[in-house]
Homo-oligomer: A and B are copies of this chain.
Amino acid sequence: MRGFFEPKSVAVVGVSNSLDNLGWLISANLQTFGYGGSVYEVGRHGGSVFGRPIYRSLTEIPDPIDLAVLLTPAPVVPDLVEECGRLGIRRVVIESGGFDEFGEEGLRLADRVREVAGRHQIRFIGPNCLGVFNAHSGLATPFGPLEPGIRPGGISVLSQSGGVMMTILNALTSEGLGVSKMVSMGNKLDVDENDLLEFLIEDPETTAICMYLEGISGGRRLLDLARRAEKPIIVHKSNTGAAAHRIAASHTAALAADDRVVDGAFRQVGIARVRGIRAMMHYLKALSLPPMRGSGVAVLSRSGGDAVIAADECERLGLELVDLPQDFLDQAQGRLRANVIRLTNPMDLGDIFDLDVYHDLAEATLAMDQVDGMVFMNTYVGGPEGSGAEVLFRQMHHLSERTGKPVAAHADTSEAEVSRLKKVLPGPIFDEPAAAVQALVLRRDHRRDVSADTGRPDGPADRPLVEEVLARCRGEGRHLLLPEALAVAAAYGVPVAAGRPAADEGETVAAAAEVGYPVALKVVGRDLSHKSDVGGVRLDLGGEAALREAYREMIATVAARAPGASIGGVLVQPMAPAGRDMIIGARFDPDFGHVVLAGMGGIFVEVLGDAALRVAPFGSATAEAMLRELRAYRLLEGVRGQAPADVPALVEVVGAVTRLVTDFPEIREIDLNPVRVMDAGEGCLALDARMLLGLPPSG
């Protein structure tokens, strides 16, 4: 990838000196940003730009070319790439639009470009993009003017949209954050975010990586790369709407809509997900602070109002305003001028006009063990008080660096002054009290959910049994029947309410006698995985008479409601003991592979969508974290004197589901619903199970 960022020579194809020529703007940018390599322009009308000739073809250029940038009508691009290949040019940026994003003809052109490039071992960025910007080398291929004031630095950016790349560049410049490398990736026909991410993770000039993605190319690789990266990776993944339109085949599928999978997967590997560029900048600033090791915070403010607002936000986000020692407060009190404020934490320093006192108080506060981070807020008028404030903010930055504890600084002053500070200070400035508090929380929680247990979890696994069931289903071109699904789950260590299958009313009565009343009755059939919806479930049948009536009524109802389905009998299960009902499931996600889901059944998933997701495989530490992440976790712990539930048994079920989809990726969807969890020590029981295979069902 380095070839894209540090070429010694660049050919820009599609240049003329017509007024509305866009290729010309690329040459202008290379000039503006002081690109030090050789630049050659190519355009079929010839002429000259910047005192250089415009060559009529790449072949006319007398020197070797490291990078070709193409901005011509789409139909001529494949031949140009062919020409690059013949000339030994191995890096190409294709900025033209009109490819796979634009109809049938475009798709054909895209295929041709890919074929030609592959044949010549050419790597290319685009098409439909702005290409590359390297603030350090001055390489700038966008065909539009760039805002002035860009500061070279450590932040690299990958964007699927050229417009959003420019938005990010503007935002970085406004925040005074320095840029290393930026790529507008366009259609990602060849080079994608993973190729570039891998390079940037190793790139010594890059200290943090931002991405704007509308779709994910190779989610699995993205996760592997991100997990290993030490640098902050901050992603705005948009285009979330489509997920809502998918038709969901099960609870697990409905809950694991794509965007929630992205959330879970990113959390799992420590990618910070943001919604919007402002939030991206905020995260970048927060992560430039030293890590916060606990939740103890001190607030120093020159405005009482700001102090109150910051304290509210601390409480809302779970930071603890630590009690400062009384002798320290008494000493500080002695530094006040009018002595009309009582000091506490948050400290209202509005009555102190000697800025050195702020520094001393901040230093003493940061030296306290119980203080893990600090919010420092300075209220002042720009212009006259700016230089003093600047000194103070620098001092806070150095204190933060020296103590290794984050100091989030807020300047409560004019917009122009904040803008100025952002450009001159070595550390971040936050523009609201709440933003400063939030930064500490982000810093504290960054990569909190990254865990090392990424292997297949150990546990029971009767592979031959599962293989046999799957082979039978595959042979008959169907998904698993209820008893099969329960058997497969059991083979991997899930305790199940197995019950007994029965083919007719007589067998049903006999089966009930064996399992013992009261019983549950469930219809079994190849197109009947949604049993409840067609009236195929009867619970709590206390005796033979009730059972017979329920059987007849159920068969009639199912036949009426699902006329095409073939009823293959019923399953007679003993009624399970009382407990809390959970859903444990998995489904195959096209971006990330199998995703495992846990949630509390009934209200929580149906009404609240309260579910935790992780990409498989993972071990029990992650499974436990999933359960703790649920809002319903308090119910598992037991509220109002209720006994706690058997969470370890539930963790084993999550492990079993993880093992199953790891060993048998052809299982596309698992839905154990409900899994009834008894009190601690008493285990759990899957009462129902659906499993779908990645096969077209025969009918």
Q: Which positions in A face B, CB cutoff 8 Å?
A: 20, 73-74, 97-98, 101-103, 106, 128, 144-147, 149, 159-164, 166-167, 170-171, 173-174, 212, 214, 236, 238-241, 244, 275-278, 302-306, 308-309, 311-312, 314-316, 338, 340-342, 350-351, 353, 379, 381-382, 384, 412-415, 419, 431-434, 532, 603-604, 606-608, 631-632, 634-635, 639-641
- Residues of B close to A73: CB separation below 8 A: 338
What chain B residues lie within 8 Å of A433 (beta carbons)? 276
Identical chains bound together, number:
2
Give every chain B residue within 8 A of A312 (Cβ-Cβ). Answer: 238-241, 275
Q: Please state if B308 and A161 are interface contacts (CB–CB under 8 Å).
A: yes
Given contacts A163-B305, A276-B434, A305-B212, contact A315 B241 (CB under 8 A): yes
| Contact indicator B639/A412 (Cβ below 8 Å) | no
Q: Which residue of B lies closest to A632 (CB)?
A: B607
Chain B contacts for A128, CB-based, 8 A: 340
CB neighbours of A412 from chain B (8 A): 163, 166-167, 170
- Decide if B606 touches A340 in the complex (CB within 8 Å): no
Chain B residues near A160 (CB-CB < 8 A): 305
Cα–Cα distance between A145 and B414 once the two chains are bound (Å): 12
Which of chain B's residues have a CB closer than 8 A to the CB of A338?
73, 97-98
Chain B residues near A632: list those with CB within 8 A. 603, 607
**CA–CA, A505 and B239, complex, Å:** 68
Q: Is the CB of A340 within 8 A of B98?
A: yes
Q: Are B144 and A381 in contact (CB-based, < 8 A)? A: yes
Cα distance A146–B604 when bound, in Å? Answer: 52
A309 and B631 within 8 A (CB): no
Say whether A341 contacts B164, CB under 8 Å.
no
How many Å lie between the Cα of A47 and that of B160 in the bound state?
A: 69
For the complex, what is the distance from the CA of A438 to the CA of B402, rounded to whole Å? 41
What B residues does A340 contact at CB under 8 A?
A: 74, 97-98, 101-102, 106, 128
A171-B415, A276-B434, A603-B604 given. 19 additional CB < 8 A pairs? A97-B341, A97-B351, A102-B341, A102-B342, A144-B381, A145-B381, A147-B382, A147-B414, A170-B412, A174-B414, A174-B415, A240-B312, A241-B311, A275-B434, A276-B433, A277-B432, A419-B419, A607-B631, A608-B608
Q: State A306–B159 Cα separation when bound (angstroms).
A: 12
Whether A350 lies near B308 (C-beta < 8 A) is: no
Report yes or no: B278 in contact with A432, Cβ–Cβ below 8 A: yes
Pick from B171, B174, B305: contact of A167, CB under 8 Å: B305
Output the nearest chain B residue to A608 by Cβ-Cβ distance. B631
Compute how far the CA of A382 lies from the CA of B169 in the bound complex, rounded to whole angstroms: 13
Q: How far is the CA of A147 from the CA of B305 in the complex (A)?
A: 18
Shortest Cβ distance from A309 into B: residue: B238
Query: Bound state CA distance, A121 and B304, in angstroms?
Result: 31
Q: A379 and B163 in contact (CB under 8 A), knowing A432-B278, A635-B607?
A: yes
Complex partner residue of A379 from B149, B166, B238, B341, CB under 8 angstroms: B166
Contact of A163 among B103, B306, B314, B315 (CB under 8 A): B306
Residue A603 contacts which of B173, B302, B603 (CB distance < 8 angstroms)?
B603
User: Which chain B residues border A214 with CB–CB below 8 Å?
Assistant: 305, 308
A688 to B: closest C-beta gap in Å: 14
Provide the bound-state CA to CA distance between A259 and B455, in Å.
Answer: 46
- Chain B residues in 8 Å Cβ range of A634: 606-607
**A and B contact pairs by CB, cutoff 8 A, 23 listed:** A74-B340, A98-B340, A160-B305, A163-B302, A163-B305, A163-B306, A163-B379, A166-B379, A167-B303, A170-B415, A171-B415, A238-B305, A238-B308, A238-B312, A239-B312, A240-B312, A241-B315, A244-B315, A276-B433, A276-B434, A603-B635, A607-B631, A607-B635
Distance of A435 from chain B, by nearest CB (Å): 8
Rounded to whole angstroms, the CA-CA distance of A101 and B631 in the bound complex is 41
- Top 8 A-B pairs, shortest CB-CB distance: A163-B303, A161-B305, A164-B305, A174-B415, A97-B340, A98-B340, A241-B315, A147-B414
**Closest CB in chain B relative to A345 CB, distance in Å:** 12
How far does the alpha carbon of A287 sit from the alpha carbon of B489 in the complex, in Å?
56
A639 to chain B, nearest CB (A): 5
| A103 CB → nearest B CB, Å | 7
Give CA–CA (A236, B304) in the complex, Å. Answer: 15
Q: How far is the CB of A528 from chain B (nearest CB, A)?
A: 17
Min C-beta distance of A245 to chain B, whole Å: 10
